Copies of this chain bind each other. A is one copy, B any other.
Amino acid sequence: MGGLVDDARSRVDAGPAIAELSALLETRLSTAQAVREHHGKDLTYHAGAAPDAVAFPNSTEEVAAIVRICASHKTPIVPYGTGTSLEGHIAALHGGVCIDLGGMNAVLDVNGEDMDCRVQAGVTRKALNDYLRDSGLFFPIDPGADASLGGMAATRASGTNAVRYGTMRENVLGLTVVTADGRVIRTGGRARKSSAGYDLTRLFVGSEGTLGVITELQLRLYGIPEAITAAVCSFDNLEGAVNTVIAVIQSGIPVARIELLDEVQMEAINRYSGLDYPVLPTLFFEFHGTEAGAREQAERAGELAQEFGGGDFRWAAQQEDRNRLWQARHDAYHACKAMRPGSEAWATDVCVPISRLADCIVETRRDIDESNLIAPIVGHVGDGNFHLVYLVDPEDRDELKRAEAHNERMVMRALAMGGTCTGEHGIGYGKIDFLQAEQGEAVSLMRSIKTALDPDNIMNPGKILRV
């Protein structure tokens, strides 16, 4: 677990492409083992696979030239952002060339009046927000990791405040994409809405590099709210917490974040971050608005929490307090790992209609305990999306099998409840069979599209679909 596989039988000979790419890129093509291995493994438990070479282009035109060379030799291509994906997205299962877009990190244009911007794919979300700092604008999508915006689009990322601002699906206005045969196309545009033809932007968002390489993005921005306030509230049981969430959403309170941490996760962050929250199912809230508006939202949410057995709201109106609160939430992953030193963390997620969320989490928690696993649960519960992190001993094959079996049962439970096998992590190669279980015959259409746009199957082969 967690290592690199190198199955020579499944690899294409990348030699001829590498020779041409070397001439094009010179020192910006690497075949050093450490570089290759670094680029073949994401933050997943799934085994990685090193590419044969890593290219570091500087421009869309250079990406197009790289793709044309690879296409002429039918050499696989794996686009790479920051390597923070979670389902084996960047494993070079058939070898080939990794295209690291990290050097394409320029913010190209910010339009304050239109509240949009254009960035190269390698710009990370934090770099963009640093750049925007004095503009009064921000880009809200926050998957936790400081991922590249190209990678976030490719995996349809979201995170804690998707309940208010949407996911990458809603916030990408247009893309520049290098197609599998090395053409450069632009999808979408700067208009806020359009009925002009097929929605290629949304097709590439979430396509995980299997249809083309995203090199530039036009993104929506938002005004930094006048007031931000946050609060924490504990519940005696999970149902009370989830019913509070349902009531908040139904009553139209435009909550910016609403996160659920179960008692196991709360214990983990208390220990890791030196906090003293009750070890109970807990909601973290954040409200954005005018001073009066944010206050009203918070009061209403507090009233609803009381109705469903919540304790007092612990407020964090000051930025410093809020940062501490959200840092604790963001540290959940590290806090988990610290619970069991030497363990590997394997993150997975599902998403269900919110009416089924309490059932799904309660059954999943019982199943964790019965399976003798350690796996804290955190959730972007306003969307019905929750994660768990299996803390497993990489040497314990039996434990790993129990985790895999649990993951499968959890996904199937979510599907039976009308949900999806992944709310925000994506398919990679870890959830291909679950995609088939979820989407059924629709997968055949995905395969037709893949084959039409990438007939030689060179774009991140083995991800999302088996062709």
Report A's interface with B, CB cutoff 8 A: 111-116, 155-158, 162, 166-167, 169-170, 179, 183-187, 189-200, 202-203, 205-207, 211, 222-223, 225-226, 246, 249-252, 254, 289-290, 292-293, 296, 300, 351-355, 383-385, 418-427, 431, 434-435, 438-446, 448-453, 464-465
Contacts and interface: CB of A to CB of B under 8 A. Distances in A.
A280 B83 CA distance: 56
Nearest to A300: B290
B440 A185 contact: yes
B442 A185 contact: yes
Given A112-B250, A197-B435, A203-B203, 11 more contacts: A113-B250, A157-B195, A169-B193, A185-B442, A190-B419, A195-B426, A196-B421, A198-B207, A198-B464, A199-B199, A202-B202
A162 B193 contact: yes
Contacts of A195: 155-158, 206, 420, 422-427
* Interface hub of A444, A446, A465 (most chain B Cβ within 10 A): A446
B111 A194 contact: no
Contacts of A385: 191-193
A419 B188 CA distance: 10
Contacts of A113: 246, 250, 353-355
Copies of this chain, count? 2
* Interface hub of A112, A115, A166, A426 (most chain B Cβ within 10 A): A115
Top 7 A-B residue pairs of the complex, sorted by shortest distance between their CB atoms: A202-B202, A452-B452, A113-B355, A194-B420, A190-B418, A191-B351, A195-B426
Nearest to A205: B199
B384 A192 contact: yes
A194 B445 CA distance: 18
A55 to B, nearest CB: 23
A425 B464 CA distance: 33
A355 B114 contact: yes
B423 A194 contact: yes
Nearest to A290: B296
A442 B156 CA distance: 21
17 contacts: A113-B246, A114-B353, A162-B193, A167-B193, A183-B441, A185-B442, A189-B418, A193-B420, A194-B423, A195-B206, A195-B426, A196-B426, A198-B203, A198-B446, A200-B446, A225-B252, A292-B292
